[in-house]
Amino acid sequence: MFNPLRIVNRICVKAPLQLQRFQSGLAPAKKMVVYEPLPKLRQGKSLMLYIKEAQYKKFDPNGTKRKILDKSNPEKLRSGDVVRIVYKEQSPVVGAVIAINKSGLGTSLLLRNMITGVGVEFHVPVFSPMVERIDIVRRPAKYKGRTKHYYIRNTRLDVGDLESSIGVKRKV
């Protein structure tokens, strides 16, 4: 008896291209489903830029924190400035800016203050939802030549008790 599968098996071993042509002739034609294109959600922007802008809108809706860190702003925050960080649920903190670590939404300030004669440093994440605003309290008459002021630690250049000199009342 004639078995067409034996012929197909022999063709498959000898010539796979011929088998594909042979099988495509036997199979009924399938209809391809074509969907309508998706709407443009990002207005032609790259995905990472779109996500970054969305996060900035979420963590800094009015743009004040971005403005204070912008290079083109003449009133930008610089190392050597004395700032007050106002938190939503804590008492405000005052400190001299020693360093600004810029890394997008991970931007942080390194502040230094003397509390009861002991030098205290702390990092403040600028775009944290806990930080309500950053106020520049005082600017130096002349800025030092470097952007990172790590060298002022425990020297005559070290900051004094800024809270008492500015007159900030600390909640205990």
In a domain, 33, yes or no: no
How is residue 123 written in tokens? Answer: 């990092």
By the 8 A CB rule, do 121 and 108 touch? no
Percent pLDDT > 70 in the chain is 77
- Among 119, 95, 116, 111, smallest CA distance to 168 is for 95
**Distance (Å, rounded) from C-alpha 87 to C-alpha 85?**
6
Number of domains in the chain: 1
Of the listed ranges 44-48, 102-106, 127-131, the least confidently predicted one is: 44-48
How many other C-beta atoms can be found within 10 angstroms of the C-beta atom of residue 172?
A: 4
46-91: per-residue pLDDT in tens?
888 889 999 999 999 999 999 999 999 999 999 989 999 999 999 9
In a domain, 105, yes or no: yes
pLDDT at residue number 87: 94
pLDDT at residue number 30: 75
In a domain, 16, yes or no: no
How is residue 114 written in tokens? Answer: 């003397």
Could you tell me the pLDDT band of residue 34, with boundaries at 50, 70 and 90? confident
In a domain, 34, yes or no: no
pLDDT at residue number 11: 47
Longest Cα–Cα distance in the chain: 108
What φ, ψ does residue 67 adopt, rounded to 5°? -65, -40
In a domain, 52, yes or no: yes
State the pTM of this model.
Answer: 0.67
- Among 160, 89, 101, 168, smallest CA distance to 135 is for 168
In a domain, 19, yes or no: no
Give residue 56's domain range: 47-166
In a domain, 5, yes or no: no
The conformation of residue 114, written as its DSSP 8-state character, comes to E
CATH code of residue 88: 2.30.30.790
* Whether residue 14 has pLDDT greater than 60: no
Could you tell me the pLDDT band of residue 169, with boundaries at 50, 70 and 90? low
Helix (H, G, I), strand (E, B) or coil at 137: strand
168 Cβ neighbours under 8 A, 6+ residues apart: 84, 92, 94, 162
The stretch 151-155 carries a mean pLDDT of 83
pLDDT at residue number 124: 94
In a domain, 160, yes or no: yes
Q: Bigger pLDDT: 37 or 101? A: 101
The stretch 15-32 carries a mean pLDDT of 57
pLDDT at residue number 27: 58
